[in-house]
Structure 1
Amino acid sequence: MTGLAVLVFAVSALGLVHVFVGYPLWMLALARWRPRPVQRRVWTPHVTVVLAVHDGAAHVQAKLANLLALDYPPALLDIVVACDGCRDDSAARCRQPGDAHVRVLEFAERRGKAACLNDAVAQARGEVLLMTDVRQRLEPDALRRLVADLGDPGVGAAGGQLRLFDAQTGFAHGIDAYWRYETLVRTSESRSGSAVGVSGALYAMRRELFRPLPPGTVLDDVLVPMQVAAAGWRVVYEPMAVAWDGTSQQPREEQRRKIRTLAGNYQLVQLAPWLLLPWRNPLWFRFVSHKLLRLLAPWLLLALALSTALLAAHHVLFAMTALALAAALAAVVAGRLLPALGGRLPIRLLTAFCYLNLFAAQALLAFARNRRLHLW
């Protein structure tokens, strides 16, 4: 029993170190010592903005105004909005300005974002697609920066940076810190070859590389770039192309969105099993390390906690590990009970880490209960 507990401790500890430290450091090293710079060039192709909306009346007019104000030649920009079974007046608000650059596809039945993207892309006229979501605001130069990356003949897709604002609570600051960490990983992946995914809030791609998405796909912003990479093109990250979004102030606000997103990774493997095959997926190591092993992190933490509890009396290493885990959990609980304490940097980082892993555990249960997930 002791030998098995030691093995569980070693595997779980090494797995956690690889996921959160080893893999990011490896990407940083590759980006530094074996960089693959993007050969940007000024390029102004015709661009079609693709926007899928479900009950987006509160945001859609501001979003269209934001898109039409982008620093890009108006004659080379058109917008296709797909309204997916909206119960509000989203479609009417899209048509209200009467701008010839905006086309509205209105579907009475709610079919999900993936189906809307497929239909909208089929109506696209541009050489380049700009994918974005309704809530986030884009910086005026975001499109030009992404298109410049696509000026590199080896680049098939370019993702922008999602920046969070209005962090008011300790939890919100922790989520913002996690997103900065994620940004560092994506930047390193891009500089050393290709990023595994992009942000659905802002990315551009060559229209010829878009492949219709399976119905119900949740993570189009992972499957689409993985398909681009499988076709032999690079997927790069452009941190200077910025989209802004508000951050969740409390765990409950983040929970539903995060569980759905994390469960979407399980769905990806179900919809595209070739992602698990190294000879089919050129980004296999990155995909497994960045996406799949993070889903295992809460279970690795549980295995680490149980094994150290069993081994604590046998060696000081296990006793210290058990104490460290207990102290971290106690700090998170104290931070939730005492908001002033929760605002301190170490505790807010621990809080975000604990909640994100809790959501990852819940995501497996959510996917097991409902393989179809949610359309939106």
Structure 2
Amino acid sequence: MIFFFWASLLIVFYTFIGYGILLFVLVKLRRLVIGRRRNNADINDLPTCTLIIASYNEADILREKISNTLALSYPEKKLSVVFVTDGSSDHSPQIINEYSTIKLLHSPERKGKIHAMHRAMQQVTTDITIFTDANTFLNKDALINIARHYADSSVGAVAGEKRVQINESADATAAEGFYWKYESALKKWDAELYSVVGAAGELFSIRTDLYIPVAPDTVLDDFMISLRIAEKGYRIVYEPEAYALETPSANIKEELKRKIRIAAGGIQSVLRLKSLLNPFENFVLSFQYISHRVLRWTITPFLLILAFILNIIIVFETKALFYELLLAGQFSFYLLAFSGWLLEQRSIRIKVLFIPYYFCVMNYAVLAGIWRYIFSEQKVTWEKAKRKS
């Protein structure tokens, strides 16, 4: 029982903190032995590029998104912009048709984002394809900073950075921003060690000729598309100077909705990307994938529960002070999270409670996502989470 308690605790620690520490050390060692990874691309000789923007009923912010897109730096003759508005029931298509330099793809039937992306990809003829969402805004040099990495023939995909705006009056969803800052650090180190393990749909790109259509029922299309490329032996680079800026979820309920969908897609991806679990295929990539993704999406939330239950049993059986202190620590953490939930219901915002509350929400979402996937309750078309205005 003590063995399983410590094994559970250590895996939980490794998943959320230990991997980051180990990754940081490995990157430092790599720099000492090999040196930093460098990109010596000539920004005056960039590849041709298509920017695909998926949009579903985003008429309220569409003009702002288009203005942001048209202001992006990239050689004009090398860039094509495509908006896909399949299923949109507002006046999004009419707005986009006002701009002669933008290509519109629209179908009244809503079959999901992945179907819309497949349809758009059939018309792409450029060297690279960049994907982004209509509810995010890119920095001016985002496209250039992404495209320059393709001068390296080992690079098959480039992931941009997701940044979440946080203001002083933020509620518990502010922890989403803190979480993404930590994730960004892990991705930087992942990329320098070998490869990022998956890209986020807010901003990522691929070599067009490496595109593999994924199954129509795929939930995390961005993640699957990028890792199918990694399966072929290409690296996924991380570029923090190409970022997509978005507001946090409107409230923790909306954030939970998003997290559950991601978790359902995560367990689906783990089951479909079996080759990445084989260390004999690509040891470093498997190590990164299992450490950064698989543990979070499979056993770690269950181990959190197991560690708490076993700690209680051990205290009752041994009466050992050390285990009593460990139990007190666990209990205090969950009490802080529960307090965060109570205060959230009353719109009382104490930032110190954001992290434990958000941490518990994340892990609950994984459990709910696994349940949803097992019982086939996660649809490809979903009600998107509302964002703060």
State the TM-score, normalizing by the size of structure 2: 0.89
Aligned pairs for 1:264-303 (under 5 A) are 264-280=265-281, 283-295=285-297, 296-303=299-306
Deviates more, 1:36-45 or 1:261-270: 36-45
Residue deviations 1:270-326, cap 9 Å, x none? 444334333456622211221121122221110001000100131223211211111
Distance of aligned partners of 1:93 and 1:280 in 2 relative to their CA distance in 1, 3 Å threshold: farther
Work out the CA distance in 2 between the residues paired with 1:181 and 1:166: 15
Aligned ranges 1:319-358 → 2 under 5 Å: 319-338=324-343, 342-345=349-352, 347-358=353-364
Alpha carbons 1:85, 1:111 under 8 Å: kept: yes
Instruction: Report the secondary structure of 1:352's partner residue.
Output: helix
Whether the aligned pair in 2 keeps the contact of 1:150 and 1:205 (CA below 8 Å) is: no
| One-letter amino acid of the structure 2 residue matched with residue 343 of structure 1 | I
> Could you tell me how far apart the structure 1 residues matched to 2:173 and 2:130 are?
29
1:19 maps onto 2:26 in alignment? no
Out of 302, 305, 308, the residue aligned to residue 308 of structure 2 is: 305
Q: Please say if residues 40 and 150 of structure 1, whose CA atoms lie closer than 8 Å, have aligned partners that are also in contact.
A: no
Which runs of 5 or more structure 1 residues have no equivalent in the other structure?
Answer: none
Please tell me whether the aligned partners of residues 223 and 268 of structure 1 are also in contact (alpha carbons under 8 angstroms).
Answer: yes
Superposition deviation, residue 349 in structure 1: 1.5
CA distance in 2, matches of 1:297, 1:337: 25
Cα separation, 2, equivalents of 1:72 and 1:329: 49
Secondary structure of the 1:171 match is coil
1:368 Cα shift?
1.8
- Residue 146 of structure 1 aligns with which residue? 146
Counterpart residue type for residue 302 of structure 2: W
Change (3 A) 1:275 1:372: farther
For 1:193 and 1:275, locate their aligned partners in 2 and report how far apart those are by CA, in whole Å: 14
The residue that corresponds to 1:370 in the other structure is 376
2:182 corresponds to 1:175? no
Matches within 5 A, 1:154-173: 154-167=154-167, 168-173=169-174
What is aligned with 2:264? 263
The equivalent residue for 1:33 is 29
CA distance change for structure 1 residues 276 and 251 in 2, over 3 Å: closer, same or farther? same
SS across alignment from 1:211? coil
User: Is the contact made by 1:139 and 1:241 (CA closer than 8 Å) also made in structure 2?
Assistant: yes
Summarize the Cα distance change of 1:227–1:306 in structure 2 as closer, same or farther, 3 Å threshold.
same
Task: Please say if 1:84 is aligned against 2:91.
Answer: no
Instruction: Classify 1:112/1:38 alpha carbon distance in 2 versus 1 (closer, same or farther; 3 Å).
Output: farther
TM-score (norm 1): 0.92
Bigger shift: residues 258-267 or 50-59: 50-59
SS in 1 for 2:329: helix
* Cα displacement (A) at 1:190: 0.6
Cα shift at 1:230: 1.6
Query: Which has the higher mean CA deviation after the structures are superposed, 322-331 or 129-138?
Result: 322-331
User: SS at 2:59's partner residue?
Assistant: coil
Equivalence for 1:104? 104
Match of 1:361 in 2: 367
